Chains A and B, each alone.
Chain A
């Protein structure tokens, strides 16, 4: 096989990059352990978020760095039914930048996720 030129960037799937501190330039995000007082449904909703939404909606690591997509903390806190429906539609259908999860999440998982999105984290 012909040997084309290769960018031999030694990316070895973690720990191979060095980072400079960007202190002061980025939003400091808090780590994500479950807060006390969450209901069983909210705890499961938190796991759904970590499992399916964290790639874009939790802070980039190493901390502190912004998430790629918007933070979801409290996005449905004190929300109206219309707010909740809008978020539900977003979860299921996505938009130009976000895939829709209607085929990936079960209705119960979506319900649990929404319950968690009513909390701040």
Chain B
């Protein structure tokens, strides 16, 4: 169970008014909008995304065609809707319809093939399309996935073609660009809060990301061949969704930027053939947590001066921005993790000021909790255990915060360093912290106080690659080749397992919380880059796929994945949340590259 709720949110019925679809209340016979999608040869097309956006609103609703090529929307509000139907390899078909409760609307689409469809590809599809039949190409492709996806997906750079000089300029640029997209040294940064160089006494590094520079020649050679002046690829788009994967209703909400009220930049990935949108303006959403009041509280993917945290009301699509000014200046505190408290509070990781901070939705006020000198008061990820204690990953290890007393307790990890990020809790209230660069999961038993480690098996690499690893400093976003990169995870309130996604290992790791035995499940999508996992009340594990514009459900009993496609480009999802107050649970997927948050509702036999 993701969290306990103070009160039941009758989310689906409450969404009737303006904020999306009446999924739970409607049956298919109630629908006012349906139709079929066929190709020009008259054949029905399954798995086509059909979207509808009401005039004057800030959200779109998408459904997928079934095996007969038929799509059906849940009951929508009366009004004028723009519609579009999309499938990879096909041009976008468009229509405008009038929806009225007194008259059913039928809108059929015919999709024409699109010769130049490469911009519709997700990052994973780009990677799948790149050559790797020779040992050299296979190695270069591994480098591309390992060193060019820590901060962004593959599609944005690969939708371009450059000559060797051009790729070289870009790699040099990336080597000295921070994860915020800023030039190293151009913006003062509080590295002291996060930088830990345990006993490093090696040579001065060549750049901010020395591992990228270490492999520059090989990367430039490969990229200039595969995405250069004369490149031609055998594109390998993935099959369209089928069966269960088509039985979803996805509502996408526009999220205005934090620094310009009401501004949602375009292009925004809505039309696939426009390509992967730029992050430069959008700087979308990082964490988005659905709380007991039915609102989604979120942090920005790229910090802005004007917003600390946002709130999305799914009933109306309204976004409210809240700003906590930093104590030392007038710009907004930047946050990362957002956790809903069953008592109604929202807890955030105040990374600008190294403090755990509470937000009161009733008053709209923030409350800082002072941190003792020398203690790291917050980190990137936060999780609440069964007793209401908050845990965050820190540079040194992790910190516990007691909301009742305001007390912080710091813990040092067994192995220092390693780029700590994910914080999870299991059914025994053990706390787990991922050390992404080291493939280590730190484990604290709250019962015994024992601090141990579980190490994920690293992949085999060549001696030459090992030598390069040993000579260069790794950063979180450019790890050592062969490492799995356990990233973020959520609370697991029941069962015998805790799960972590292996970002570069492209799998999810299931760890038995009693024996520490590890079992890895490779994802069915290549180079998907899973960033976060979350359990639902039924024991299913939801996995986002940063590079694939998809997400998946993992069934621990059958050990099978069901993959779902998102309706827009530019998700590069860094978080996934589950609303367990609905039946079936509702999944929330924020977009970090573009300005959207998606609500995914699952159709059942009843609707």
Contact = CB atoms under 8 A, between A and B. Distances in A.
B331 interface: yes
Contacts of A52: 160, 278
Interface residues of A, number: 50
Contacts of B417: 5-8
B259 A6 contact: no
Given A9-B194, A16-B179, A51 B275 contact: yes
Interface string B404-429: 00000000000111111100000000
B217 interface: no
A32 B421 contact: no
Contact of A104 (B162, B260, B263, B393): B162
Contacts of A63: 259, 304-305
A114 B59 CA distance: 33
Most chain A CB inside 10 Å of its own CB: which residue of B189, B263, B592: B189
A9 B475 CA distance: 6
A91 to B, nearest CB: 12
Contacts of B304: 61-63
Contact of A4 (B162, B228, B299, B469): B469
Contacts of B166: 94, 99-100
A58 B417 CA distance: 35
Interface stretch (B107-115, B198-206, B547-555, B557-565): B198-206
A68 B182 CA distance: 9
A112 B481 CA distance: 41
Contacts of A22: 187-188
Interface string B212-238: 000000000000000011000000000
Contacts of B283: 14, 61
B55 interface: no
Interface string A1-28: 1111111111111111111111000000
A47 interface: yes
A6 B162 contact: no
A14 B265 contact: no
B207 interface: no
A19 B189 contact: yes
A63 to B, nearest CB: 6
B303 A62 contact: yes
Interface string B159-203: 111110111011001000011111100111111011111111010
Nearest to B200: A5
A20 B331 CA distance: 8
Interface in A13-53: 13-22, 31-34, 47, 50-52
A13 B179 contact: yes
B311 interface: no
Given A7-B474, A50-B265, A21 B329 contact: yes
B183 A68 contact: yes
Interface in B379-438: 379-380, 393, 395, 415-421, 435, 437-438
Given A8-B420, A11-B178, A16 B194 contact: yes
Instruction: Say whether chain B's binding surface is mostly helix, strand, loop, or mixed.
Output: loop
Contact of A5 (B199, B275, B303): B199
B280 interface: yes
A51 B180 contact: no
A8 B397 CA distance: 11
A101 B278 contact: no
A120 B178 CA distance: 29
A5 B300 CA distance: 31
A60 interface: yes
A55 interface: yes
A20 B303 CA distance: 12
B476 interface: yes
A67 B297 CA distance: 31
Contacts of A11: 150-151, 178-179, 419, 475-477
A18 B301 contact: no
A102 B92 CA distance: 26
B167 A99 contact: yes
B280 A61 contact: yes
A62 B301 contact: no
A94 B161 CA distance: 13
Given A6-B438, A8-B418, A52-B160, A20 B194 contact: no
Contact of A15 (B150, B160, B334): B334
A17 B415 CA distance: 24
B316 interface: no
Nearest to B277: A51
B286 A18 contact: no
A100 B300 CA distance: 32
A57 to B, nearest CB: 9
Given A6-B419, A62-B302, A65-B187, A103 B162 contact: yes
B379 A10 contact: yes
Nearest to A97: B169
Nearest to B180: A17
Given A2-B466, A20-B329, A100-B166, A7 B473 contact: yes
B97 to A, nearest CB: 24
B138 to A, nearest CB: 19
A4 B329 CA distance: 39
Interface of B: 150-152, 159-163, 165-167, 169-170, 173, 178-183, 186-191, 193-200, 202, 228-229, 257, 259-260, 263, 265-267, 274-275, 277-278, 280-281, 283, 286, 299-305, 328-331, 334-336, 351-352, 379-380, 393, 395, 415-421, 435, 437-438, 458, 461, 466, 469-470, 473-477, 480, 482, 574, 592
14 contacts: A1-B466, A5-B417, A6-B418, A7-B474, A7-B475, A8-B196, A8-B418, A10-B395, A13-B150, A17-B190, A31-B259, A65-B186, A99-B169, A103-B229
The 4 closest A-B pairs by CB, nearest first: A99-B166, A54-B280, A103-B161, A104-B160
